[in-house]
């Protein structure tokens, strides 16, 4: 078929489709002001598409070589860009995993478009868009009602860690992990901690946070 071979119209169609698919996938990330936004996703998708077009063109012209070699380099090489979007906050919270996975997936869509596999590319692009946008609320709702919640808490001067732990236990909750924030503790009059709180059953995190916030001595509380 004409659209499967490297022709002028096939090139235009594949690159334009890569721009649309990459932009649609990156739209949600861009609206949330993530490190990689809509333009980044577009560039990744178009770049992967161009590499596969070049790969197919060389194989089509010379009739020799491995037609998948350049595509394989994209799959492994896109990792450096994804790794740059993953950061660890000062509260040991990891951010950017979804963005990195989205970039890798966008590269896959670009590779499929570049080789002329339109059906898979469009279906995969739509699936990625649904995962990043429509399933966001479901994912947030699921995580907001788990038994475990990780929090950052600051205690006023004079409130001991032991007193806070006993206060949490009186709420019928457990502390699975406790890590002191040395920077906050040493540079201010408050004591900062990162704690993993465990409930005996699935509970609403907002309610758990409200109970913990009422413990005497707690000056600041944030869910991580």
Name which of 32-46, 87-101, 123-137, 145-159 the model is least confident about: 87-101
Bridge partners of 88, per DSSP, are 94
Helices (H) and strands (E) in the chain, counts: 10, 6
Tell me which residue has tokens 């037609």.
67
Instruction: Measure Cα distances from 209 to 29, 67, 69 in Å.
Output: 28, 56, 52
Q: What contacts 24+ positions apart, CB below 8 Å, involve 210-216?
A: 211/171, 211/173, 212/151, 212/153, 212/167, 212/168, 212/171, 212/173, 215/164, 215/167, 215/168, 215/171, 216/159, 216/163, 216/167
* Structure confidence by residue, pLDDT tens digits, 140-166: 677 767 778 888 888 887 788 888 888
Residue 139 scores a pLDDT above 80:
no
**Mean of pLDDT values over 119-133:** 88
- 14 Cβ neighbours under 8 A, 6+ residues apart: 49, 53, 113, 114, 116
Mean pLDDT, all residues of the chain: 81
- 173 Cβ neighbours under 8 A, 6+ residues apart: 197, 198, 199, 208, 211, 212
Q: What is the pLDDT of residue 1?
A: 58
Residue 85 scores a pLDDT above 80:
no
Q: Say whether 33 sits in a helix, a strand or coil.
A: coil
Q: What is the pLDDT of residue 16?
A: 92
- Structure-block tokens of residue 88: 């660890």
Tell me which residue has tokens 């790969």.
55
Q: Name the pTM for this structure.
A: 0.68
């Amino acid at each position: 078929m004409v659209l499967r071979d490297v022709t002028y119209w096939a090139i235009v169609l594949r690159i334009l489709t890569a721009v649309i698919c990459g932009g649609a996938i990156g739209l949600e990330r861009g609206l949330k002001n993530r490190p990689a936004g809509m333009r980044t996703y577009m560039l990744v998708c178009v770049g992967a598409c161009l590499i596969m077009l070049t790969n197919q063109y060389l194989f089509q012209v010379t009739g020799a070589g491995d037609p998948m070699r350049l595509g394989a380099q994209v799959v492994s090489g896109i990792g450096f860009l994804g790794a740059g979007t993953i950061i660890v906050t000062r509260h040991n919270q990891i951010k950017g995993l979804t963005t990195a996975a989205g970039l890798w997936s966008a590269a896959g869509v670009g590779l499929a478009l570049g080789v002329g596999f339109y059906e898979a590319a469009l279906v995969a692009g739509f699936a990625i868009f649904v995962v990043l946008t429509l399933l966001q609320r479901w994912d947030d709702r699921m995580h907001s009602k788990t038994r475990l919640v990780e929090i950052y808490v600051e205690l006023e001067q004079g409130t001991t860690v032991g007193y806070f732990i006993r206060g949490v236990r009186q709420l019928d909750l457990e502390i699975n992990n406790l890590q002191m924030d040395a920077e906050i503790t040493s540079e201010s009059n408050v004591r900062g901690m990162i704690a993993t709180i465990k409930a005996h059953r699935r509970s609403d995190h907002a309610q758990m946070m409200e109970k913990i916030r009422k413990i005497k001595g707690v000056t600041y509380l944030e869910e991580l």
